[in-house]
Structure 1
Amino acid sequence: MTSDLQIPDAVSNLTPFQALMIPVALIGAVFLSLGAQFQSRGVKRVEARLGKQSKGLSVRHIVGLVSSGYWVLGTLMLGIAVVLQLISITFAPLIVVQPLGAVALVITTWFSSRSSGVPLGRRARRAVWTCIIGVGIFVGIAAFVGHESPITRSQLITVLVILAVVLILVLVSFRVVARHKSALYYIIGAGVLYGFVATLAKVTLNRFVNHTFDWLTVLAIIGVVVAASLGGYFVQNAYSAGSADLVIAGLTVVDPIVAVGIGVIVLGEADGAPPIAVFGFVVAAAIAVTGVFLLAKHHPEAQR
């Protein structure tokens, strides 16, 4: 007698080498947390010296960041985090390793509480756990209904077209929303952009590994560079308007949801999933995003 339940390759067929990518991703999350803390301090110090801008960081502020030791150290740490993330998503399924960055949220919130001298209150802890539980449920469902399959040219083109639309929407909305200096706007924008970065980076690296380099790969590389650059600018503005723990909360929630969402909807990694799984995706995403909004209200620096 055979069972109709099929466990996806992403979970059941991890090789020892693929399993090794899990601690690699976790170490990357630690560097992500530390890098966020140091970059945030660098941005705050530059603004204290040059003054705050009402519509995002100016060119003068961006240049000033390069001379900030805290910001440079944070950038180096984030660079290490990115390298470790790229290694992990190259050799292991995206839905397994990408969401592990949520570990950075716990570390960053603790550091933020220590550096601000404000104890982490019950509401802030509840917000952190809400984020983590939402992401965990989302990825857990994706892991059990998802599967990896070769990415076709049409699927890659679809991802690139969606990214182009997102870039247009982000640039248009920036002119309207930036004047309000909204941390959540910058965080959600950066998370969406980084979700595309993770997806396209995996596609690009796999094409290099499989020797299938073509003009679409070039477009994917350009998409990675543009989305990463704009996302990086949004992150620096988020540090200016909010706290490091809030930034990491947004990125570790929105980034994996977007990346996994692209895999499920566009790349067909959850074809055949029952309606209850789709409903679960929506509910889990809502829980995670709710946690971000709660943390925006109750994070340690907001209590000062």
Structure 2
Amino acid sequence: MSQWLAVALALLSALCLAVGTQQQGTAVADHAHGRLSLRTFLVLLRTPRWSLGLALLGVGTGLNVTALGLATVTVVQPIGVVALVITTLLHARHRRLRINRRTWTAIALCTAGGAVFVTCAVAVTDPAQGISQWAEHTVVVMLVVLVSVLGVSAAMFRRSLGGTFYVVGAGILYGFVAVLVRLTITRIQGSTGTPLDDVNWAAVVTALAAAVLGGWFVQTAFAAGPPDLVIAGLTVIDPMVGVLLGLLVLGEAVPGFSVTTGILMAGAGGIAIVGVAVLSQHHPEVLQRRAGLVRPDRPLPAPRPSAPRPAAPGR
């Protein structure tokens, strides 16, 4: 019974995340005109549609956490890819776009590859294993370097970077943040004295900085591309980064981890990444922007009528 309730909560979470992403994405695109600035962001804070999207994203996150408390990740996590399909349909209807065959193929690749990767990862990882302080500090140092590199790159090359950079960057950052949040919660739950005494505050501060930078990247990606591309990148990259950190740094792999499973995970992850790449190149809104549309939600301006030619002499 609890698993069916978890499935229902996960579906509601996917719906909230999809609608919230679509609302925020269209609000940013309508105000940012391809580039997001601090002034535009301050305007978005007072935009009802953007605020509604933020609220829905918060509700969706809460529902997903509750679902994970009732069932395993194997049951809950693959359902999250439903948000990609819902976001694509909502956005296509809002922009009056016709979803092409390659877009559907990309969505299928993201969904299938992500589901297989997560399912395999759950089978070969054991999050209950004790995590050493060295491993946790390693994750913190890696994230500090990552935040520095991505932040400097975004500041120096913001005029030349495309939406794919921000989508991939946000997915990687959120993957690290999820790992540090889980490690912090584990420390609090396993504390024998005051819960906050065992908290690694360096990890908390670093995770907050990464979350803020990742949030800015997401909003910038909304300005540079369609919201379904953004959520596709996040749902694919975020869990993959978390799993890889667990396997390679935190030592969460079970003794039975085999080369065959590793190859299957690598293949599934590659398929999902190819799906994101195809979506970034062949999404109908991306094709519209390449065709020269100034605004993705408005057609090109009608050409001005040419001036009438003067009549020929003698006529």
Paired residue for 2:51, among 72, 75, 80? Answer: 72
Q: Which moved more, 1:124-133 or 1:203-212?
A: 203-212
SS at match of 1:70: helix
How far is 1:274 from its partner?
A: 1.0
- Taking a change above 3 Å as real, the CA distance of residues 197 and 35 of structure 1, as seen in their structure-2 partners, is same
State the alpha-carbon separation in 2 of the partners of residues 160 and 91 from structure 1.
Answer: 29
Paired residue for 1:33, among 18, 22, 36? Answer: 18
How far is 1:47 from its partner?
A: 2.4
Task: Considering fraction of residues, name the structure with more helix.
Answer: 1
Residue identity (%): 38
Larger Rg: 2
Give per-residue Cα distances to partners, 1:20-76, cap 9 Å, x unaligned.
Answer: 54543332222111111110121122225xxx54xxx22211111111111111111
Letter in 2 for 1:250: G
User: Where in structure 2 are there 5+ consecutive unaligned residues?
Assistant: 289-315
How far is 1:264 from its partner?
A: 1.7
Paired residue for 2:223?
A: 240
Question: Does residue 236 of structure 2 align to residue 253 of structure 1?
Answer: yes
Q: Say if 1:86 and 1:201, in contact at 8 Å, map to a contact too.
A: no
Paired residue for 2:172, among 189, 192, 209? Answer: 192
The number of equivalent residue pairs is: 283
Paired residue for 2:189?
A: 209
Query: What TM-score, normalized to structure 2?
Result: 0.82
Q: For the aligned residues, what is the CA RMSD?
A: 2.3
State the alpha-carbon separation in 2 of the partners of residues 162 and 21 from structure 1.
Answer: 34
How far is 1:216 from its partner?
A: 4.2
How far is 1:104 from its partner?
A: 0.9
Paired residue for 1:105, among 77, 80, 84? Answer: 84
State the alpha-carbon separation in 1 of the partners of residues 72 and 139 from structure 2.
Answer: 18
State the alpha-carbon separation in 1 of the partners of residues 202 and 67 from structure 2.
Answer: 23
Q: Say if 1:195 and 1:258, in contact at 8 Å, map to a contact too.
A: yes
- Taking a change above 3 Å as real, the CA distance of residues 99 and 233 of structure 1, as seen in their structure-2 partners, is farther
Query: What TM-score, normalized to structure 1?
Result: 0.84
How is 1:12-23 mapped onto 2 (pairs within 5 angstroms)? Answer: 20-23=5-8
Q: Which moved more, 1:251-260 or 1:116-125?
A: 116-125
Paired residue for 1:163?
A: 143
Give per-residue Cα distances to partners, 1:148-187, cap 9 Å, x unaligned.
Answer: 2233322222221221121122123223442224010000
Letter in 2 for 1:169: V
How far is 1:93 from its partner?
A: 5.5
How is 1:223-234 mapped onto 2 (pairs within 5 angstroms)? Answer: 223-234=206-217
Letter in 2 for 1:46: H
Paired residue for 1:11?
A: none
Q: Which moved more, 1:204-213 or 1:112-121?
A: 204-213
How far is 1:113 from its partner?
A: 1.5
- Taking a change above 3 Å as real, the CA distance of residues 91 and 62 of structure 1, as seen in their structure-2 partners, is same
